[in-house]
Amino acid sequence: MAAEDAFAYALSSNQAWAGYKGHQNPDFFPKLASGQSPSIRCSDSRCPETTILGLQPGDVFVHRNIANIISPTDINTSAVIEYAVAHLKVKHVVLCGHSSCGGAAAALSDNRVGGVLDTWLVPLKTVRNAHKEELESITDDKKRAVRIAELNVEAGINVLMANASIQDAIAERGLQVHGTFFDIGTGRIRDLGLGTGKGGHGVSGINGDSDIVRGKHAMLVFRNDGAGSMQAL
């Protein structure tokens, strides 16, 4: 598969996975969206990258943190970006926000979380203040949380696009940067059309240049020269 098709193919595989899981168990995504209580907690245990993209271990180099915040002063994030872009030579950098985000809910609240988390969430609070009028006009709490999470992705993409390693890779070898959003309630990823891409690969885009073949026990997604499969679990 051509390198430039990898991002589109991953989104197509996500649509296949979400459709299959929803058909297999209609309560799977609604239950997932209601909350998380894993034995071992990570940034958000409901967003396993390779699973939701229909990919394999080794296909996605991942950095996670609370609330998907990209801070230019966070040396951890900067180190991951530099290693992925300058040394691993990744072709795509994807920043993915998600629904039912505890960080988004905390940023929308005037209450303190406590400890270092209040400091960590300052960039997201800043996003809230910058879009205060728009966010306050949204009366539904869940929709407001989704919107600030989307705005947070946009803010993060702006930071990524100003990163020296990313700028060099864009100029020298055509690195692509994408902003996306994962809806835990449906299992589907939307391309927000941010970064270097033109967008259009979300739920609607899959029908334009992909074919989905549904069988009794599996689903195949065909895109250009590649095909991915979701086998029965």
In whole numbers, what is the pLDDT of the chain averaged over residues? Answer: 76
Mean pLDDT score, 105-131: 94
* Domain residue ranges in the chain: 3-33+59-230
Is residue 233 pLDDT above 60, yes or no? no
Mean pLDDT within 86-107: 90
Domain 3-33+59-230 in this protein, CATH class = alpha beta
Rounded to whole angstroms, how far apart are CA atoms 17 and 13? 6
Tokens 């994807």 locate to: 94
Known binding-site positions for Zn(2+): 42, 44, 98, 101
Three-state DSSP class for residue 7: helix
The rounded percent of the chain whose pLDDT value lies above 90 is: 43
Return the closest-CA partner of residue 66 out of 120, 4, 141, 7: 120
> What pLDDT, on the 0 to 100 scale, is given for residue 29?
72
Q: What is the pLDDT of residue 2?
A: 55
Residue 216, token pair as written in the block = 């009794």
Report pLDDT digits (tens) over 155-194: 999 999 999 999 999 999 999 999 999 888 888 889 999 9
User: pTM for the complete prediction?
Assistant: 0.68
Question: Burial of 57 by CB count in 10 Å (0-12 exposed, 13-18 middle, 19+ buried)?
Answer: exposed
Q: What is the pLDDT of residue 22?
A: 73
Which residue ranges make up the annotated binding site? 42, 44, 98, 101
Is pLDDT larger for residue 85 or for residue 3? Answer: 85
* Closest to 163 in 3D by CA, of 90, 65, 93: 93
Helices (H), 131-226: 132-136, 141-161, 164-173, 206-209
Q: Active-site positions? A: 42, 44, 46, 98, 101
